[in-house]
Amino acid sequence: MRVYADNAATTKMSRASIEAMNDAVENCWGNPSSLHSIGQHAAERLQKAREDIAEVLGCSPKEIYFTSGGSEADNQAIISAARIGERKGKKHIVSTAFEHHAVLHTLKKLEKEGFEIDLLDVKNNANITPEQVKNAIRDDTCLVTVMYANNEVGSILPIAEIGKICREKGVIFHTDAVQAAGHLHINVADECIDMLSLSAHKFHGPKGVGVLYARKGIPLTVLIEGGAQERGKRAGTENLPAIIGMAAALKEANENLDANAAKMTKLRDKLIDGLSKIPHSALNGTRENRLPGNVNFLFEGIEGESLLLLLDDRGICASSGSACTSGSLDPSHVLLAIGRPHEIAHGSLRLSLSEWNTEEEIDYMLEQIPQVVTYLRNMSPLWREKVSGEKEFEI
């Protein structure tokens, strides 16, 4: 059996998205900036994709900017807010300790320029409270950037409450909604979101394309100079097939959102219940406010990387943290941020489901994972010391 349980890293494209994209590659290859009929046909299709995405998010098509993905959208949102702040002498930014690196590394760059960055603590329930945001905002705060849902431990953050606080205080609010789009109901107006990032390949769309939503009146900083595409805010001939594939995927995901979430939640909970029976294991994050497809477990006494490779031999594709950090020796910054001790954070396994996973696949994982965990523990001298009582268990 082959089980794909790494949907937080990327998803397989849906049939609807592939067909929309293929059709565009073949029949809609004009340049939307060209004034002739072939170009204008492309421009119409581009506009239609913009409208479809705007409708899902609850905004105007004029507030949608196409980018190369979630990372670019995060960069542009944060840099734009920083430049707006700078002009008013406001150089303080509030975020969280477990954001994606696209956010954290951009903030690091701004810190080197003299911005002051406050990363809110997420040790309490792998989440933040709206009060933490309220207390962190100062007169010189120019941006609050808080992810909608965490890509490693699945926490869903209190976005609407945070949005309300930011709106009342007149502070720009950006959210990295890459893990939420297509999986959770989002309405940027209701939730007082000023800027939002999403990425197509996390909801069965193509890779290398995403969206930055920026509320009317927020002046964006241009990161890529050139032509006048995206109303002068993001140059380069539009990746129209990918944009059309993204719009189809988002529309489809949104139409089936509730049914998919119900199905995935059931599979997720079965997986969590089953894995909880493994001794000295713990769920990373909480059961409440958790993405429907996210399972993340810590198994004491093993290395996540070895677990991954052995599971791959048995046909199970998972992740030990975020794909972006694999290859580095440090445990994931997210697991450390939620308070997992450095020594054991390595032993984590993320299984991220999609609506295409089946109950049989969950049963298969519940049969294989405990076997592999036991096998690896039996080889570990550290584990033997703990079992014999020479060393203490952490969990």
Ligand X SMILES: *Cc1c(COP(=O)(O)O)cnc(C)c1O
Q: Does 147 bind ligand X (CB under 6 A)?
A: yes
Catalytic residue ranges: 324
Alpha helices in 202-239 (DSSP H): none
Give, to the nearest 10 degrees, the angle between helix 240-255 and helix 37-57: 30
Which C-beta is closer to ligand X: that of 117 or that of 387?
117
Q: Does 205 bind ligand X (CB under 6 A)?
A: no
Residue where the block lists tokens 């809609």: 28
Kindly determine how many residues on this chain lie close enough to bind ligand X according to the rule CB under 6 A: 14
Which C-beta is closer to ligand X: that of 11 or that of 368?
11
Closest chain position to ligand X (CB): 70
CB-based contact 248:258 (threshold 8 Å): no
Among 158, 210, 245, 292, contact with ligand X (rule: CB under 6 A)? 210
Burial 50-75 (b: 16+ CB within 10 A, else e): bebbbebbebeeebbbbbbbbbbbbb
Stretch that binds ligand X, among 68-76, 165-173, 342-350, 351-359 (CB under 6 A): 68-76
C-alpha Rg value of the chain to the nearest Å: 22
Q: Does 332 bind ligand X (CB under 6 A)?
A: no
Cβ 117 to ligand X, closest distance in Å?
17
Q: How far is CA 135 from CA 64, 130, 161, in A?
A: 31, 9, 13
Q: Does 325 bind ligand X (CB under 6 A)?
A: no
Q: Does 126 bind ligand X (CB under 6 A)?
A: no
Q: Does 178 bind ligand X (CB under 6 A)?
A: yes
Half-sphere exposure of 322 (CA within 13 A, CB side): 18
Q: Does 156 bind ligand X (CB under 6 A)?
A: no
Q: Does 151 bind ligand X (CB under 6 A)?
A: yes
**Site track 78-107 with ligand X (rule: CB under 6 A), x = hit:** ----------------------x-x-----
Stretch that binds ligand X, among 54-62, 84-92, 172-180, 371-379 (CB under 6 A): 172-180
Q: Does 152 bind ligand X (CB under 6 A)?
A: no
Cβ 199 to ligand X, closest distance in Å?
3
Q: Does 71 bind ligand X (CB under 6 A)?
A: yes
Q: Does 176 bind ligand X (CB under 6 A)?
A: yes
Collapsed DSSP state (helix, strand, coil) of residue 66: strand
Q: Does 132 bind ligand X (CB under 6 A)?
A: no
Alpha helices in the chain (DSSP H): 15-27, 37-57, 70-87, 101-112, 130-136, 159-169, 240-255, 257-275, 304-313, 333-337, 342-345, 359-379, 381-387
User: What span, in angstroms and rounded, lies between the C-alpha atoms of 356 and 181?
Assistant: 17
User: What span, in angstroms and rounded, lies between the C-alpha atoms of 288 and 145?
Assistant: 22
Q: Does 179 bind ligand X (CB under 6 A)?
A: yes
CB-based contact 181:203 (threshold 8 Å): yes
Q: And the tokens for 79?
A: 């840099």
Which C-beta is closer to ligand X: that of 108 or that of 391?
108
Which C-beta is closer to ligand X: that of 96 or that of 357?
96
Stretch that binds ligand X, among 42-50, 66-74, 129-137, 343-351 (CB under 6 A): 66-74
CB-based contact 190:93 (threshold 8 Å): no
User: What span, in angstroms and rounded, lies between the C-alpha atoms of 33 and 237?
Assistant: 8
Cβ 343 to ligand X, closest distance in Å?
26
Which C-beta is closer to ligand X: that of 137 or that of 334?
334
Stretch that binds ligand X, among 175-183, 246-254, 274-282, 354-362 (CB under 6 A): 175-183
Please choose, from the candidates 187, 159, 182, the residue with its C-alpha nearest in 3D space to the C-alpha of residue 96.
Answer: 159
Which residues in this chain contact ligand X in the complex, by CB under 6 A?
69-71, 74, 100, 102, 147, 151, 176, 178-179, 199, 202, 210
